[in-house]
Homo-oligomer: A and B are copies of this chain.
Amino acid sequence: SANQPLKQAVILSAQYGINVFVLGLVLMLAGTFHRAGVTQEHILAYLSTLMAIQLAWMLWYFSGRHGKRVLLTEKDEHAGPRWLRGGLTLFATLSLVLDMFKIGYYVGYSSCLTAVKGVYPAIHAVHTLSQVYFLWFHAKDIIQAFQMIGRFGMIHSVFTNLLLWVNSIIAESKHQLNDHKKRLAGHGFANLTMEKAGPNCSCTIHVCAAFYKASYYMYPFSIEYHVLASAMLYIMWKNVGRKLEHRSPQKLVFKTRPNILPGPVLGAAVFATTIGILVVYSLQAGHSKDHRLSAVTMFYLYSMIVLGLMSAASTTGLVIYRIDKRSMDYSKNPTRKLDGQLLASTACASWLLSWCSVLAAVSAQSRPHSTWLSLPLSTLAIVEKSVQNMFIVESLHRKQDDGEEEAGRLKGTSDRPGTSPPRCGIVNKTLEGVERQLCCAAAPPQSPEDRSSSVCSEQLPSPRAAGSFPPASFRQTGNLHKTRVILKNIAAFLFLCNISFWILPAFGAWPQFDNGLEENVYGFEAWILIVNLAMPFAIFYRMHASSALFEVFCAI
């Protein structure tokens, strides 16, 4: 019966969070379209208030944790893995750089900007620092005491981050739209109204323009940072008051071997080409119409090749799964469930764009040069995402065949004890003491809590350790080993390709605006609305697929 008010808190807190979010959304939409007298200042004030509340809550949480007021009995080992927290920290750092740019910009124009334009980035910087600290050390916490306050604080944080995400997206979309309008204006469409850039006074520190320009290269990172943070906070919210079934979790260890070469190499080649394509595209798209269309054609041909390779790789992975059957792990795991749902739901946005392109390509009256490529490309994009989602979700659910591996591993060590180099994670019964020392020295320091517990003894019985033996010692498990090498190559290749397809739209290559096809068919305004609504989710899909593929790579 003590459970009742807590279950109520789930609904109550969720409804509170949704309403905070909806109000923010209404404010932002009104501000964007200059309605209802809402200005940028109102929005920033609202966001700053929300961040201040979250800061107060986190302070309460920290003080409770250190004063042992918030009792912790368990940790969810699936939540907030180290690589995810690492990614979060990276993005947060670049987000801090963005805050510095904004503060610098405010200092330059301080005579004619309202105070909130300076207060907002300062609060945001403090908020970012505290939140990264919070997530780095507490992402696995399962709150058992003061659940009510825990739930409300957590859901408040989730929706605050989502609102900050929406705010960044709107800023980024406005920027993309202005770029697009500038290009159109260069080609003679002069009747478009431009957003006025910059305040009414002159800059006092001479680098305002540089700050302004540079900040747009940081927005994509800020966007991803807020989404990652809200996903991790959502998992913490789901975990409040949860009772865990006790199972020893699999530690995921990042490990490469000489066999895993073709995938990463091919992926790196794709990645390098992508950077080249992005630079060429950005330069070409600003020129005349012919230049722009040839850039689009290049972009389409390149995308088709890569998407084709990705589809082939995912399909190969699925075929291997059909041959190499394993039992599946369907135990409760909020992190994995959210992963799958996010993949499917954000893919919807790209599917919407793709289907719009298909319809436009089929029905277009006047066909630009690149139209004949648009139809197969869109179809390929739809297929690729479907196959890739299936590959990722099945990979995350597969169980490791621990028994089979254990046998192979022990056989290998007893056959030739000398050939195994003393690497971290390898168990050699006779050398165990020495190796544990080495392992402890080599293991990167985690959080203070983690270090005090037995990191090494946990890592030692890892089944994945077998992977670092030379393949010659795997006579019995050779087939298993080969399968795993192929799968690891596939995951690495897909990972790098997804990163590439994240970089392209995140840094401004939006051929949807430049190909001149959909814009003619649906009309300028309608198409801009559709793209600006769907694109952020399509971009997030690529980032999220990359992080999931990284996990797959470690888990295989």
B7, A328: Cβ atoms closer than 8 Å: yes
Q: Which of B5, B351, B386 is close to A22, meaning CB atoms less than 8 Å apart?
A: B351
B36, A4: Cβ atoms closer than 8 Å: no
Q: Which positions 284-338 of chain A face chain B at CB distance < 8 Å? A: 318, 321-322, 325-328
Q: Mark A28-40, 1 if CB is under 8 A from B, else 0.
A: 0010010111100
B4, A321: Cβ atoms closer than 8 Å: yes
Known: A38-B363, A390-B8. A344 touches B15 (CB 8 A): yes
- Decide yes or no whether A352 CB sits under 8 A from chain B: yes
Q: Mark A358-400, 1 if CB is under 8 A from B, else 0.
A: 1110011100000000000000001000100110011001000
- Bound Cα distance from A358 to B526, whole angstroms: 28
Q: Which of B5, B33, B358, B363 is close to A322, meaning CB atoms less than 8 Å apart?
A: B5
Chain A interface residue count: which class? 35 or more
- Decide yes or no whether A134 CB sits under 8 A from chain B: no
- Bound Cα distance from A38 to B389, whole angstroms: 31
- Decide yes or no whether A261 CB sits under 8 A from chain B: no
Identical copies of this chain, number? 2
Q: Mark A424-463, 1 if CB is under 8 A from B, else 0.
A: 0000000000000000000000000000000000000000
Q: Which of B36, B322, B359, B390 is close to A26, meaning CB atoms less than 8 Å apart?
A: B359
Q: Name A26's closest neighbour in chain B (CB-CB).
A: B355
Known: A344-B15, A351-B19. A522 touches B35 (CB 8 A): yes
- Decide yes or no whether A348 CB sits under 8 A from chain B: yes
With a cutoff of 8 Å between Cβ atoms, the chain B residues found around residue A33 in the complex are: 522-523, 526
With a cutoff of 8 Å between Cβ atoms, the chain B residues found around residue A326 in the complex are: 1, 4
With a cutoff of 8 Å between Cβ atoms, the chain B residues found around residue A363 in the complex are: 36-38
Q: Which of B328, B352, B358 is close to A25, meaning CB atoms less than 8 Å apart?
A: B352
- Decide yes or no whether A480 CB sits under 8 A from chain B: no
B522, A18: Cβ atoms closer than 8 Å: no
Q: Name A390's closest neighbour in chain B (CB-CB).
A: B11
Q: Mark A499-542, 1 if CB is under 8 A from B, else 0.
A: 00000000000000000000001110010000000000000000
Which are the 8 A-B pairs with shortest beta-carbon distances?
Answer: A1-B325, A36-B363, A37-B363, A26-B355, A15-B386, A36-B521, A35-B522, A22-B351
Residues of A within 8 A of B (CB): 1, 3-5, 7-8, 11-12, 14-15, 18-19, 22-23, 25-27, 30, 33, 35-38, 318, 321-322, 325-328, 340, 344, 347-348, 351-352, 355-356, 358-360, 363-365, 382, 386, 389-390, 393-394, 397, 521-523, 526
